[in-house]
Structure 1
Amino acid sequence: MPIKQIPGGVTAAQGFTASGVHCGIRKNKSKRDLALIYADTLCSAAAVYTQNLVKGACILVTQQHLKNGKAQAVIANSGNANTCNADGVEKAERMCLLAAKELGIPQEDVLVASTGVIGQVLPIEPIENSVAALTSALSKEGGTDAAEAIMTTDTVKKEIAVQIEVGGKTVTIGGIAKGSGMIHPNMATMLGFLTTDAAVSPEMLQCAVKEAADVSFNMVSVDGDTSTNDTLAVLASGKAGNQEITEKSEDYQAFLEGLVFVCREISKLLAGDGEGATKLLICKVSGAKTLADAKGVAKSVICSSLLKAAMFGADANWGRVLCAIGYSGCDVDISKVDVAFRSAKGAVTVCVDGAGIEFSEEKAKEILLEKEIDILVDLKDGSFDAEAYGCDLTYDYVKINGDYRT
């Protein structure tokens, strides 16, 4: 069966419930700030994290808890990153213990995540006072509340669920994520929690989440800053009834395809909701000599502040695309490169064989005024392709980050 999108988000897969409440970390009482995802059975689990040397305490604790490749719950808060704090690990472990006691499961089977301001002590009392209510609120409809509870400067909730076929069985993959600023390849200020009812060994789940992240979340850039707390965690309940995936078989490839689809769709949501953004930018590179070159060029283009500013102004300044390709460090013959812009309003080619051609500025403007823009780069030098996701750079980005802490 083809990939089919369904409602339900992180609770769509068999065995999962979720919840989100306001506990008081945030002063805004209308905003949920504490989330819980729970599986009714012990799951295979895997995760990938930020590559920043400065890591939130929650990552250190989650890494320890995932050493056996198993987990049953995730607790996460927004409003405070619990990073660069002397008592950070103690607080992160305390969050796990509080959830574990309410759920009646071992503390080491709980994963933890935090997002928000760095360097401010995380108040544990609001969490202690609310974890019972958080657990009581668990439901199959609670995924949306959990998606809201992990938001920081996000303006929209990010959630998705799909169904695929693996080994003759219908498998569901769902997830939620947050991320709007401080986002750059090699993960970002991004929290992502995926659930599936596929039967997958912890080892294969780790392989799959890394492969999926490499072509999705690691291809997103909003502002060039790699965060300290980003985590992408996956729990697999095995309730779909497929034969457990224990090697890179045909079933593994089918599962990976579904996981990649989910991760790419969430990545687009993250990029399109970049702080202050008005447009989603997708750089699609084709004809590269190697996959590394295709990915490198796509990342370089999507990260260019000058290009991002041009897209905000709907200016078809294709020279900024070539400039970004030129400093990408990739093996590219600039004299072969074609560039075009495309949106719902059509497409316009602006560069052929590394040189500008005549095109209608009016048509280009119309294309670039749309909310989603494809930047098409054909290197015409090989068979590899890749895509990266970003957004325009606006006045509001500076406003949001000028007083983010205060």
Structure 2
Amino acid sequence: MSLNEVYAILMVCMLLGGVIIGFPVAFMLGALGVLFGTLAYGFNAASYQAALSTYGVMSGWSLLAIPLFVFMGVVLEKAELADRLYTGLRLLLGPIRGGLAISTMALATMFAACTGIAGASVIAIGLIALPSMLRFGYDKKLASGAICAGGGLGVIIPPSIMMILYGPQAGVSIAKLFMAAVFPGLIMAGLYIVYMIVICGVKPQLGPPVFKEEAAQYSKKDIAKLLLVAGVPPVGLVIAVLGSIFFGWAAPTEAASLGALGALIITGFYGKLNLKMMKETVFSALKISTFIMWLVLGAKYFMSTFNKLGGGNLIGDMLLSVDLGPTGLLILMLGLIFILGMFMDWIGILLVVIPIFVPIVKTMGWDPLWFAMLFCITLQISYITPPFAYSIFYLKGIAPPDVKLTDIYRGCIPFIIIQFVALLILYLWPSLATYLPAIMRS
């Protein structure tokens, strides 16, 4: 083994060690890239490579979609459409067993398509739905699990920030990734809803019907109006954004611009558009976008040095040398992602691992879109898998004191199992990921 390959292995070990200790992932990635680049090739070469990487990231057209989609999501969140829509769904479905949990998942699915960010969905839906479910006697574990799992749909349902980052790293069209994610995302949401219907049917005490007196105060016309006013504009915006991509009328970045403009129009329609709201929205979107871009930049520094040292080829050759067959190799690769997701930020995992996995995917002849969906679903599972579980800690931060961390952990277990079922379904029927991209107009 050469000295450069030893450096590459040390980079990975120090990265994992630093993340476990608690160092910020973005700065850990960047520092290791510059440090080992200097050790191997000298400071001038390392600094020159860092400058080229910075220019490459900041001038990337496709990454411009990130702040635009983030802005769209934050604007729609400020419009308080989730609160209005949940009220309508609660009145419509509340009188049936598990109705509030089903309403929560339906809201999460819609909100995922509006934001593309899991954290925003978990917090927004948790603040709206959790107090309501607890007030009507819902099981704390079921309520917590539904919110955490539903919030994580923002990772897979387009327009997803994960897909925008995945595309350039894997050399795959972001537009095709968006289309590939539609059916897997909807299937996962459907499986969640089926589970809640079944479990609340078998154990009514977990999700009892809400008091019919509340629904009796509203006519069917009032409920329909509330659902139409709160639901149609954002759903129409999402359809317009994805439709423009599907029919080839706009690239993802251009569609993101359309989404941002449409979100402002919808917010004005709801009477929430004002200077204070715009200031808060711009600041919030800037914070989220800056956080993502720092991670992208740090990962670029890291991977530039890592690949130059031969680390990518070393790990790829090690994986291909394992005599497990195609299915065994796929399980091994997804298993590594699952384990890394327990300890690392998903953006860091994606940006570091994908450049290593892409040559393996090509060698094995796997469809890149199909593998991308398997990869993203596996990475999504990390959102509710301890110890590094974003959604769980987001929800705990806004949950009432009587909702313990153990309640949230236990509530997430059935949904983790469902995510693995969704992974198996996609493995058995790859066309779920490849059909829409195949018929879309480029």
The reply to whether TM is greater than 0.5 is no
TM-score when normalising by structure 1: 0.26
Structure holding more strand per residue: 1
**Which protein has greater RCO, CA pairs closer than 8 Å, 6+ apart?**
2
Structure holding more helix per residue: 2
